[in-house]
Amino acid sequence: MIKQKQKSTKQKFTRIKEQDKALYELLQDEQRRQSDSLELIPSENIVSKAVLEAMGSVLTNKYSEGYPGARYYGGNEVIDKVENLARDRLKKLFNVPYANVQPYSGSQANMAVYIATCEAGDTVLGQHLFDGGHLTHGWKASATAKFFNTIQYHVKEDGYIDLKEVEMLAKKHKPKLIWVGATAYVREFPFKELGEIADKTGAYLVADIAHIAGLIVAGVHKSPEKFVDIITSTTHKTLRGPRGGIMMVTKKGLKKDKDLSLKLDRAIMPGSQGGPHNHTTAAMAVAFAEASRPAFKKYGKQVVKNADALAKALIKGGAELVSDGTDNHLLLLKCGKGRGAIVETALDMVGLTTNKNTIPNEPQSPFYPSGVRMGTPSVTTRGMKVKEMQQIALWINRVMDIVKSEELPDGNVVEKQKYIKKLTKKLKKNIEIDKIRNAVERLCREYPAPDNLV
């Protein structure tokens, strides 16, 4: 019998069980999937019961278009207080004079930044998608590239942002806006250096800290607050809150443009959104309070320590990583040309959930890329430490070895999908895959999602 390191939290869904068998079964399945596998996707985490409670509260019943004290609907006297509570806690966490907690998620927060600072057709500079940048930082398939003249900068061979290229592009194109932030960047962001480039060229500098917000709060990544004008983020990644988006203006940003906060407020409502999701706002307030406690700092430090341990153990076992390691919570495993989907599928089969991802100089497409992205926020929330990371690395290296001769066919998407299906069938019969799957489940039972995070 495996001894659990902490009490687990399982939702009962009593009323859904009575009223909606089909959905009840699905919720049970997902709950089982989450508890019996290890979530290594770096943008995912496990929220506290208090956050879940706020998400399921009666606040979802209320319309509140507008802002505290200035709404388009009556009956918002309590909602005003909830929103102010969330905003004040957020301002304190990041030491900023302005915060908006209404964006439905990160992409909406980023879109509001464009609306607030640019005219259609203006030039914007952001990190290239293949080099870890986000879609909304100007990637060609995003609406941002349709409405703005987006130019992309890259990382160097060693995986660090190419500051010389950023400066050259900023001087040449005079962008209105420069983005710093990414979805797959393993090094600390050079906020100070990019702040100097933005100042020299007259651009607004925006830090999209979606991935590293929790690390900043925990003091294990430097804060952009002194160097950028605007900060955007999601609240559900390392920050461990509900699924949502936030925007902040720094003292520097207000000095540059005293109306910046007003412009951002208007860019969300009426610019691009309707009523805020008040239940999410309440859950953000809960998460921000949790993030201000000493236990959160401990968690943040452990996230980075665990990622470093995972990276080192993977390399020791023969794996290749982008930039040969990590400074933060995420790592990028090089899988060979176009093999990300193969490795993701095989890891899924043993209960290690990751996601295929592009790598710098990606030779293939974002749908069949050459890397796999993984990270440690969720397993750290479960209480795992360096020893468990070393065990996980052994499993990953072994799975990589089992599928080392698998190659996707050159043909179209249908042929590639057929291949992945066949591979899944084949791996189901593989005794070693089965053994690793059982071992992963045993570790999961030892570290259930915790009952209480504080």
234 is catalytic: yes
d(CA 389, CA 49): 26
Is residue 214 within 8 A of residue 300, CB to CB? The reply is yes
Could you list the residues that contact ligand DSN (CB under 6 A)?
43, 106, 134, 183
Active-site residue, from 65, 188, 348, 441: 65
CA-nearest of 152, 159, 218 to 188 is 159
Per the annotation, the verdict on 258 as an active-site residue is: no
**Smallest separation, CB 44 to ligand DSN (Å):** 8
Distance CA 108, CA 96 (A): 20
Please report, in angstroms and rounded to a whole number, the separation of the first and last CA atoms in the chain: 27
Find out whether 208 and 106 touch, Cβ atoms under 8 Å. yes
In the complex, what is the shortest distance from the CB of residue 57 to ligand DSN, in angstroms, rounded to a whole number? 26
For ligand DSN, which is the closer residue by CB, 273 or 354?
Answer: 354
Q: 107 or 281: whose CB is closer to ligand DSN?
A: 107
Residue 207 CA to residue 225 CA, distance in Å, equals 9
How wide is the angle at C-alpha 157 spanned by C-alphas 151 and 162, nearest 5°?
40
Whether 36 is catalytic is no
Which member of 176, 187, 237, 356 is catalytic? 237
CB 291 within 8 A of CB 217: yes
Closer to ligand DSN by CB, 212 or 346: give it.
212
Contact by Cβ (8 Å): 232, 205: no
Kindly state the smallest distance separating residue 43's Cβ from ligand DSN, in Å. 3
Query: Quick one: which of 223, 195, 199, 196 has its CA closest to 209?
Result: 223
Q: In terms of CB distance, is 106 or 138 closer to ligand DSN?
A: 106
Q: Which of 234, 235, 250, 281 is catalytic?
A: 234
Nearest residue to ligand DSN by CB is 43
Displacement of CA 418 from its chain's centroid (Å):
30
Please state the closest distance from residue 168 (CB atom) to ligand DSN, in A: 27
Determine whether 304 is exposed, middle or buried from the number of CB atoms within 10 Å of its CB (0-12, 13-18, 19+): buried
Taking the complex as a whole, the smallest distance from the CB of residue 135 to ligand DSN amounts, in Å, to 7
Closer residue to ligand DSN, CB minimum distance, 134 or 382? 134
Nearer to ligand DSN, 183 or 261 (CB): 183
Query: Which structure tokens are listed for 334?
Result: 């090089």
Catalytic residue, chosen from 63, 251, 257, 385, is 63
Cα separation of 431 and 402, whole Å?
A: 11
290 is catalytic: no
User: Where do the DSSP E strands lie in 4-61?
Assistant: 38-39
Smallest gap from residue 182 Cβ to ligand DSN (A): 8
Distance CA 334, CA 290 (A): 35
Active site residues: 63, 65, 208, 234, 237, 243
